[in-house]
């Protein structure tokens, strides 16, 4: 408990130091104990007094005896995580009425931290900030601020320590990332034959738009293709200048600027040229297609859009693509449709940047949908199917962040026509991507409906994609598909008692433990671990012949798996997935309490169920929230009466999500199987 308190105090003081210096760091690189130790090492006078006075004022206010020490320790740990996630940021200001409720400085700081975590860009409320969190944070910060002038020296020392650590970390990371980007630029320059100055300018543009450095090498390949298209377009426009030698020379000059990597200058030259042309007497002529079908001015706008894209200004590129669509000849539906798609892709690129808002992705989805009315499948089948695949993927991502079933349904309706075009024989890659997208959409849809038929359809789609995907060819997607397939099969078993599905799920997720480091994403690893943990819970509940010692060991393994998955940084699970995981964790602790009588396990079970209930309430899922309330009430009755089970207390039994099934008679899991499963995990 002392270590947890010092950690919480340290990260809170670091938050104050960062806020005072107007710094924002998404995730502190040090824990609170290291921060306090660094403050003492720096010789900041009054550090010991600040720590002692703060803890002596803070501890009696939270240790009221209403909750156990285990629950209190979990609460303190999560508060430290909230402060570290805020990282000194000041969130979007809450409403004026909410601000008026904050009567102290500590309450205002706590309110900002909760807003920065609950109203962040992820939009799925993974870090839901409950009222009790805000109250405890307000008490903590008020206790720290009461330390008086001695606190100033501590905050200065902490700011200096963090600045030093940030610079060391940034230099090391930047050096490594710049080396990777430079190597990628050199490779592309050799393979494609364009100048290093242009490749470096493209990389600078990707960085300028806010693309994380680790994503730039992959983005360079697509952007290099866009640069080649731009050069070809500029030369084509120079050829179609007609008898206007000055216009031809200008277009050749702009192409030369692009080859030299002067993208900003090229963009300015194109902007001046288009404005002058729009106000000239020959503008009507440049609007109409010539003998080879080239409408000069609309294509000039499209070239400007490509230049803005390469220079790292996607919003300007989207605006220019929209203008090009308006000016394009009405009978050229294919090119107008392509421009609308490019506009949507530019907006979607903004929506995928860190700290971008969900509304941007919704804007991109609307543009995709409006483009769909310009062409049909018969006009360009594969490009049409690819556009449907992109829109389905975008809607699925919006569904993950909003946790709304209609988004998943809409996504599935776009993946299915893509499957009809991307047949296995015609385009295996597109067909596999469509199967994966459809499976993800059906899995998300089933999370709300609880429909076993939809779950089985999702499992079928996952298996179909695994017939094409390979571990060597696309390892991250392959592992993600296997993790999600395991999750779907476990849910089928939980809903129906289908032992075959449980057997298949255990076989699928057990292979994830053999994955090579760096190939499996944090999301896939967390989903796979939770699925395996729930499989073990199902086995323990269903196997009456299991010995207490053996089942206790398996339950501890399941708890470790689910806890590790929930606590993993950057797991990117949706709020609904997190709620299900917390519910499963609470069920595991409850089973452990029933077998061992451990009061600490009971308290942790209640705590996990409360977190799950809060998430379901925030998702407006009243049915699940009410069911959890009943379970929590029964558990509280057991805790208050000090009995071993709810039946002895006269309260209703707590129904866990897994339905008991006699698995031994079905040839699945006897005691030996449980032992093997536990040993494999350890």
Tell me what pLDDT residue 628 has: 94
Buried b (16+ CB within 10 A) or exposed e, 53-82: bbbebbeeebeeeebbebbbbbbbebbbbb
Tell me what pLDDT residue 170 has: 62
Averaged confidence pLDDT in the chain:
83
Q: Are 570 and 544 in contact (CB under 8 A)?
A: no
- Average of per-residue pLDDT across 593-601: 88
Q: How far is CA 253 from CA 76, 116, 236, 260, 269, in A?
A: 64, 48, 13, 11, 9
Burial group, residue 260, by CB count within 10 angstroms (0-12, 13-18, 19+): middle
- How many DSSP H helices and E strands does the chain contain? 29, 0
Tell me what pLDDT residue 675 has: 45
Of 283-292, 365-374, 546-555, the range with the lowest mean pLDDT is 546-555
Report pLDDT digits (tens) over 526-536.
999 999 999 99
Tell me what pLDDT residue 545 has: 46
Tell me what pLDDT residue 657 has: 43
Cα-Cα end-to-end distance for the chain: 27
Tell me what pLDDT residue 321 has: 97
Residues 6+ apart with CB under 8 A from 425: none
Chain centre to alpha carbon of residue 620: 21
Instruction: Give alpha helix (H) positions in 543-621.
Output: 548-567, 575-596, 599-618
- Average of per-residue pLDDT across 596-606: 90
Residue 570 Ramachandran class (φ > 0 left, ψ -120 to 50 alpha, else beta): left
The Cα–Cα gap between 659 and 645 comes to 18
Report pLDDT digits (tens) over 78-130.
888 888 777 554 444 444 444 445 567 878 888 777 766 554 434 343 444 45
Q: Among 148, 165, 26, which Cα is nearest to 83's?
A: 26
Q: Are 526 and 571 in contact (CB under 8 A)?
A: yes
Of 12-16, 320-324, 415-419, 426-430, the range with the lowest mean pLDDT is 12-16
- Average of per-residue pLDDT across 573-597: 92
Phi, psi of 289, rounded to the nearest 5 degrees: -65, 140
**pLDDT tier at 549, thresholds 50, 70, 90:** confident
Tell me what pLDDT residue 29 has: 65
The Cα–Cα gap between 351 and 362 comes to 9
Report pLDDT digits (tens) over 228-249.
999 999 999 999 998 899 999 9
Tell me what pLDDT residue 90 has: 45
Sign of CA dihedral 81, 85, 87, 90: negative
More confident call, 608 vs 675: 608
- Average of per-residue pLDDT across 605-629: 92
Tell me what pLDDT residue 242 has: 86
CB atoms near residue 307 (< 10 Å)? 31
Q: Residue 179 above 90 pLDDT?
A: no
Tell me what pLDDT residue 23 has: 60
More confident call, 497 vs 87: 497
Task: Say if pTM beats, i.e. exceeds, 0.95.
Answer: no
Q: Calculate what percentage of the chain has a pLDDT beyond 70.
A: 85
Question: Mutual orientation of helices 47-62 and 2-20 as an angle, nearest 10°?
Answer: 120
CA atoms within 13 A on the CB side of 457: 16
More confident call, 522 vs 394: 394
More confident call, 227 vs 67: 227
The Cα–Cα gap between 160 and 253 comes to 51
- Average of per-residue pLDDT across 386-414: 94
- Average of per-residue pLDDT across 138-161: 81
Written in H, E and C, the secondary structure of 280-331 is CCCHHHHHCECCCCCEHHHHHHHHHHHHHHHCCCHHHHHHHHHHHHHHCCCC
Tell me what pLDDT residue 32 has: 78
Of 264-278, 537-551, 648-662, the range with the lowest mean pLDDT is 648-662
Of 135-144, 354-363, 375-384, the range with the lowest mean pLDDT is 135-144
Q: How far is CA 369 from CA 362, 391, 418, 439, in A?
A: 11, 8, 15, 22
Tell me what pLDDT residue 256 has: 96
More confident call, 204 vs 90: 204
């Amino acid at each position: 408990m002392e270590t947890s308190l010092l950690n919480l105090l340290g990260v809170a003081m670091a938050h104050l130091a960062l806020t005072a210096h107007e710094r924002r760091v998404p995730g502190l690189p040090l824990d609170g104990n290291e921060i306090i130790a660094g403050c003492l090492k720096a010789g900041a006078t009054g550090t010991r007094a600040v720590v002692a006075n703060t803890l002596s004022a803070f501890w009696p206010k939270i240790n009221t005896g209403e909750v156990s020490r285990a629950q209190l320790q979990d609460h303190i740990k999560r508060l430290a995580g909230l402060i570290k996630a805020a990282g000194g940021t000041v969130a979007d200001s809450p409403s004026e009425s909410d601000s008026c409720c904050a009567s102290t400085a500590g309450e205002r700081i706590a309110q900002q931290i909760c807003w920065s975590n609950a109203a962040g860009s992820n939009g799925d409320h993974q870090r839901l900030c409950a009222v009790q969190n805000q109250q405890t944070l307000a008490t903590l910060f008020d206790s720290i601020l009461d330390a008086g002038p001695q606190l100033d020296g501590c905050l200065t020392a902490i700011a200096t320590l963090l600045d030093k650590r940030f610079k060391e970390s940034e230099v090391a990371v930047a050096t490594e990332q710049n080396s990777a980007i430079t190597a990628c630029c050199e490779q592309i320059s050799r393979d494609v034959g364009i100048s290093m100055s242009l490749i470096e300018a493209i990389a600078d543009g990707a960085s300028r738009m806010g693309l994380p450095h680790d994503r730039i090498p992959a983005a360079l390949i697509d952007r290099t293709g866009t640069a080649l298209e731009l050069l070809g377009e500029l030369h084509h426009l120079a050829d179609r200048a007609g008898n206007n030698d000055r216009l031809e020379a200008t277009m050749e000059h702009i192409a030369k600027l692009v080859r030299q990597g002067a993208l900003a200058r090229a963009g300015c030259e194109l902007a001046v040229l288009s404005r002058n042309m729009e106000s000239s007497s020959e503008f009507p002529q440049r609007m109409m297609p010539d003998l080879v079908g080239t409408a000069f001015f609309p294509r000039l706008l499209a070239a400007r859009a490509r230049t803005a894209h390469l220079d790292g200004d996607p919003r300007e590129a989207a605006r220019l693509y929209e203008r090009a669509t308006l000016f394009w000849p009405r009978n050229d539906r294919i090119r107008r449709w392509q421009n609308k798609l490019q506009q949507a892709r530019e907006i979607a690129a903004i929506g995928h940047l860190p700290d971008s808002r969900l509304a941007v992705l919704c804007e991109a989805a609307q543009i995709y949908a409006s483009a769909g009315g310009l062409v049909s499948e018969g006009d360009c089948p594969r490009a049409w199917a690819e556009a449907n695949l992109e829109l389905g993927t975008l809607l699925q991502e919006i569904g993950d962040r909003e946790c709304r079933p209609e988004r998943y349904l809409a996504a599935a309706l776009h993946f299915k026509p893509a499957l009809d075009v991307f047949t296995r024989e015609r385009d295996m890659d597109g067909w596999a991507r469509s199967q994966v997208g459809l499976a993800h959409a059906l899995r998300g849809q089933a999370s709300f409906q609880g429909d076993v038929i939809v779950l089985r359809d999702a499992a079928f789609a996952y298996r179909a994609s695994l017939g094409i995907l390979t571990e060597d060819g696309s390892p991250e997607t392959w592992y993600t598909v296997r993790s999600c397939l395991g999750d779907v099969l476990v849910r089928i078993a939980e809903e129906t008692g289908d032992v075959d599905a449980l057997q298949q799920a255990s076989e699928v997720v057990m292979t994830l433990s053999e994955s090579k480091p760096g190939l499996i994403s944090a999301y896939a690893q967390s989903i796979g671990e939770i699925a395996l943990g729930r499989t073990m819970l199902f086995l323990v509940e269903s196997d009456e012949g299991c010995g207490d010692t053996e089942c206790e060991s398996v339950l501890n393994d399941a708890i470790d798996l689910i806890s590790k998955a929930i606590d993993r940084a950057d797991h990117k699970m949706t709020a609904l997935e997190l709620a299900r995981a917390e519910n499963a964790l609470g069920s595991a602790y409850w089973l452990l309490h029933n077998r061992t009588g451990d009061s600490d396990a009971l308290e942790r079970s209640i705590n996990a169920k409360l977190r799950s209930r809060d998430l379901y309430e925030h998702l407006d899922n009243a049915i699940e929230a009410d069911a959890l309330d009943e379970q929590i009430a029964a558990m509280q009755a057991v805790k208050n009466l000090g009995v071993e089970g709810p039946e002895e207390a006269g309260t209703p039994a707590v129904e866990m999500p897994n339905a008991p099934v006699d698995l031994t008679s079905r040839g699945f899991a006897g005691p030996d199987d449980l032992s093997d499963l536990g040993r494999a995990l350890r």
